[in-house]
Amino acid sequence: MILGQDMAARNLPLEKIPDEDLPGDEKFREKRLEMVEMQVRRRGISSSGVLAAMREVPRHEFVPLEDREMAYADKPLPIGNGQTISQPLIVAVMASALELTGIERVLDVGTGSGYNTAILSHLAQDVFSIEWHTKLAEEAQERLKSLGYENVHVIAADGAEGWPEDSLFDAISVAAAVPAIPPPLLEQLKEGGRLVIPVGSIDTQELLQVIRYPGGDVQQALCPCRFVPLIGRYGFSMAPER
């Protein structure tokens, strides 16, 4: 069922159909709509584009098969190689802070399973996504292709170095923690562009929005957060191999 506008406006409880009475795809669709309403919209995310994208992208396709029943839970989930798919609310906060209109070229650092990449593909013209772990990058590229996302490009590389052969970008999203903002990412951000990135220690970070202006960058703290650490030249460590 689709949540009616009147019910959403009044913040009434969602009517629930027992999961066992629903076919597989419809069951996940119900959980997805409930996730967006309860975990995202009611917590202050108002961007119609972000809400629509999160209602559309099948999050259960981006988690391991054994965790599909938990795909729409209010928490991050492991996806292998020590990486995670972020909590839905954090994905929404980051996407909203990029302030996308649909015509942008976006750099997505930390592809993971490709869920955030898929969300961004609904909000921008082109998405260039970088993942340190080759296995995750290859799996994400195949997954995104199989689900019909044609405006995304995925490579395995050091995300903090950016995508210099294809810069500049209107927006950059980073889904891994850094001790300080990597200079190459700022260099590849257009004037007026937005960078959203978690900065701090390995254990605790602040999610920042950075906007480039001719007279200097302007930073705004969005919320406390905890991401997996970035690996690479400007991250917390260098892995022996990708």
- pLDDT for the residue numbered 51: 98
**CA of 176: how far to CAs of 28, 65, 77, in Å?**
28, 24, 15
As given in the structure block, the two tokens for residue 225 are 């957060």
The SS3 of residue 30 is helix
The SS3 of residue 23 is coil
* Choices 3.40.50.150, 3.80.30.20, 1.20.810.10, 3.30.428.10: CATH for 5-225: 3.40.50.150
pLDDT profile of the chain (242 residues), mean per 10: 28 39 71 97 97 97 95 96 95 98 98 98 98 96 97 96 87 97 96 97 96 93 95 77 52
13: exposed, middle or buried (C-beta count within 10 Å: 0-12, 13-18, 19+)? Answer: exposed
Closest to 102 (Cα-Cα) out of 163, 171, 197, 46? 171
Residue type, 211: I
Instruction: Pick the catalytic residue from 46, 48, 86, 201.
Output: 86
As given in the structure block, the two tokens for residue 128 are 């260039």
To the query of whether residue 173 is one of the catalytic residues in this protein, the response is: no
C-alpha 112/C-alpha 132 separation (Å) is 9
- pLDDT for the residue numbered 214: 87
- pLDDT for the residue numbered 25: 78
- pLDDT for the residue numbered 20: 46
As given in the structure block, the two tokens for residue 201 are 């220690």
